[in-house]
Every structure is written in structure tokens, then in C-alpha cells.
Amino acid sequence: MTFSKTLCVGPVRNGRGIIALKSFARGATICRIKGRIVNVKTVWRYWDIDRRRAENCFRFDADCYLDPEGEIGAFANHSCNPNARIVRTARGLYLRALKPIAAGREIIHDYSTLLGADDVWTMKCDCGERNCRRVVANVARLPAGVLRRYRKLDAIPRFILATLGI
């Protein structure tokens, strides 16, 4: 399933994911994460109807989420060793490369960077990385060294850092 000239959805280690069709330099914008902005109540309704859809929603600000249903963002996967980050601008959410990404590689980000200290959702991690934390949880539960590294890389949106009082 091709979404643009630079990205497609294809088979990856854990199902389907976003695959780079071209190389991306460190810092490059990979794509905008499109979708519908919904409130927390809507996400909880999704939870009762379609848990996977609820789990695919991106935290957009303190009270809203972005539902990427039908868009490439619905295929964004987690890794404890990400090659991309989520950036929030006035225009929306974007995936940006944390490091160079070669064509053919999966584009992965760390879900914890979009889970505020007030988020209760967790999942068992099966990213397969050497540094796997085994559980994906909110930003407050990141190991101190990981949190410091992500802050240096500007890999955690400001509205998520605000839930930590930072």
C-alpha cells in the first residue's frame, strides 16, 4: 500500500509498518500524520469498540488525540531504539528523522514520547531491540538516561514534557 512517492505500508517484524521508499537525512521531515482530532471520550469509546483503533491514536495536546484511521499514521510502530520522532507544530503532527534512514527501512518512533505522565495506557513491548524496555508506558516511566537523551534530541513534544512539570 503506497501512500506517497516516499512511503509505503508493508510487512515488518510486528505486522505492517511504514517503510521508507527513499533515504531520509537526520532531521528531515518524513511525513505529516493526518487524521481527525478527537477528545478523550471518543478514544475511550473506540476502546470499547475497536481497541486497536484507540491504541493508534496520537496524543495531540492536553485534552485531544489525533485519530489516523485510514491514513499512514495508523501504521506507525514503536521501538525502544527509534529512528524518528513526532513533532507538533501549529499545522499538526509530523514524523521527523532522528538519524539517517535508508530506503527500505521501517520508520519507527517511541510511543512513550507521546504519553503524558497522566496517561495510563501501557503495552508489552516486542520491538526486538537490545535496549528494549519490555513495557511501553508514559513518559514519567522512561529511564532517566533515556529521558535525558530524548530531551537533548528534542524528541518529546513540549505539551508532553509539561505533564512532567518540565
Average pLDDT of adjacent 10-residue blocks, the chain of 166 residues? 88 95 98 95 91 91 92 96 94 95 98 94 94 97 97 94 94
pLDDT digit string (tens) for 121-157?
899 999 999 999 999 999 999 999 999 999 999 999 9
Domain 7-164 falls under CATH 3.40.50.2300: no
In the chain, what is the straight-line distance between the N-terminal and C-terminal CA atoms, in Å? 40
Alpha-carbon distance of 4 to 81, in angstroms, equals: 25
- The 3-state DSSP class for residue 82 equals coil
CA 76 to chain centre: 6
pTM: 0.93
Pairing of strands 29-33, 36-39: unpaired
Strand locations in 26-70 (E):
29-33, 36-39, 58-59, 64-67
Specify whether the CB–CB gap between 4 and 31 falls below 8 A.
Answer: yes
